[in-house]
């Protein structure tokens, strides 16, 4: 007992004399907090990483029929014309953080390959997502449609610097600055047919969505003739986005790209 008391006294004396402290238990390393990386066009969420962000995005990296593509080798053939039957729809526009999108009410359709598809929305990318023999256009519009079976068809329209576009200006004048807040503009309606060129001959292939989850089986019709927008309109869109919102082109692989004669 005396020996034990002596040891305790000695320990206390050492602490006082030399500032020694009894050994402490190492502090536990705080658990790492995993944060979800949201997909986008820059940094960790950039297109090269989309396939690994979520299991449901796997096709973004493993899919063999992905979009966009570089349209280089084509096979000219007789293709049905794009039968656009678009109606006026109240202007509902949103900056979803990835693109400027106009949501459409039911009633507008397009006929492709004798299939009728309803227009859901159209949105914009800068620069273009598809390229033609390696060359980009200033912007590209995608009109997204769905048929009764749930199949998707997208009509792509290139946009190049030129004269100001009146319909685009109406859209840009009502751009919401706040992300994910839809701006429903009373008294203004738009008709997507005004954003199609007179010559709607097109390139046709089957690909995917150009954003996650990159679902395949999408019927693509990329119109060959671009529409014009002014340099100021292009810059206004780029300034709002603050980054290029185009996915890089993906391999064509074993697909065939058809071209209207």
User: Considering the domain boundaries, does residue 137 fall inside one?
Assistant: yes
User: Considering the domain boundaries, does residue 234 fall inside one?
Assistant: yes
Residues 154 and 142: beta-carbon distance below 8 Å: yes
Can you give the pTM of this predicted structure? 0.86
User: Considering the domain boundaries, does residue 216 fall inside one?
Assistant: yes
User: Considering the domain boundaries, does residue 228 fall inside one?
Assistant: yes
- 145 given a catalytic annotation: no
- The number of folded domains in the chain is 1
Share of the chain above pLDDT 70, in %: 87
Q: Which of 89, 129, 130, 259 is catalytic?
A: 129
User: Considering the domain boundaries, does residue 19 fall inside one?
Assistant: no
pLDDT score, position 177? 81
User: 93 is in which domain, residue-wise?
Assistant: 36-260
- 125 given a catalytic annotation: yes
- 210 given a catalytic annotation: yes
Confidence tier at 18 by pLDDT (50, 70, 90): very low
Q: Is the pLDDT of residue 242 over 60?
A: yes
pLDDT score, position 15? 38
Which residue did the predictor score with more confidence, 62 or 19? 62
User: Considering the domain boundaries, does residue 8 fall inside one?
Assistant: no
Q: Which of 89, 131, 210, 211 is catalytic?
A: 210
Residue 202: CATH number of its domain = 3.10.200.10
Which residue did the predictor score with more confidence, 232 or 31? 232
Average of per-residue pLDDT across 51-59: 97
Average of per-residue pLDDT across 234-252: 97
Q: Is the pLDDT of residue 3 over 90?
A: no
User: Considering the domain boundaries, does residue 6 fall inside one?
Assistant: no
pLDDT in tens, 91-150: 999 999 999 999 999 999 999 988 999 999 999 999 999 999 999 999 999 999 999 999
- 200 given a catalytic annotation: no
- Mean pLDDT of all residues belonging to the chain: 90
**CA nearest neighbour of 143 among 177, 167, 163:** 167
Structure tokens at 124: 């914009």
The span from the CA of 6 to the CA of 2, in Å, is 6
Average of per-residue pLDDT across 172-198: 94
User: Considering the domain boundaries, does residue 244 fall inside one?
Assistant: yes
Structure tokens at 229: 């927008």
CB within 8 Å of 48: residues ≥ 6 apart: none
Q: Is the pLDDT of residue 22 over 80?
A: no
Q: Positive or negative CA dihedral for 171, 119, 157, 122?
A: positive
Average of per-residue pLDDT across 162-178: 95
pLDDT in tens, 60-80: 999 999 999 999 999 999 999
CB within 8 Å of 235: residues ≥ 6 apart: none
- 142 given a catalytic annotation: yes
pLDDT score, position 176? 87
Ramachandran quadrant class, 78 (left: phi over 0; alpha: psi -120 to 50; beta: rest): beta
- For tokens 């536990």, name the residue: 28
- 130: helix, strand or coil: coil
């Amino acid at each position: 007992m005396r020996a034990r008391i002596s040891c305790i006294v000695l320990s206390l004396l050492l602490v006082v004399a030399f500032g020694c402290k009894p050994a402490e238990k190492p502090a536990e390393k705080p658990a790492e907090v995993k944060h979800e990386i949201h997909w986008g066009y820059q940094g960790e969420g950039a297109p090269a990483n989309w396939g690994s962000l979520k299991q449901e995005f796997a096709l973004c990296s493993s899919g063999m029929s992905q979009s966009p593509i570089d349209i280089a080798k084509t096979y000219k053939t007789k293709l049905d014309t794009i039968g656009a039957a678009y109606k006026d729809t109240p202007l509902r526009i949103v900056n979803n953080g990835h693109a400027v999108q106009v949501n459409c009410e039911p009633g507008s359709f397009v006929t492709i390959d004798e299939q009728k598809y309803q227009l859901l929305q159209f949105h914009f990318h800068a620069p273009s997502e598809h390229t033609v023999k390696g060359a980009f256009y200033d912007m590209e519009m995608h009109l997204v449609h769905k048929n009764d079976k749930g199949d998707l068809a997208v009509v792509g329209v290139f946009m190049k610097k030129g004269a100001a576009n009146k319909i685009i200006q109406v859209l840009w004048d009502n751009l919401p600055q706040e992300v994910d807040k839809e701006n429903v503009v009373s008294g203004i309606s738009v008709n997507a047919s005004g954003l199609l060129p007179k010559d709607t001959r097109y390139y046709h292939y089957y690909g995917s969505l150009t954003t996650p989850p990159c679902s395949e089986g999408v019927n693509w019709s990329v119109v060959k003739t671009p529409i014009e927008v002014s340099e100021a309109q292009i810059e206004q869109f780029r300034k709002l986005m603050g980054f290029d919102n185009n996915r890089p082109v993906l391999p064509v692989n074993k697909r065939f790209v058809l071209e209207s004669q």
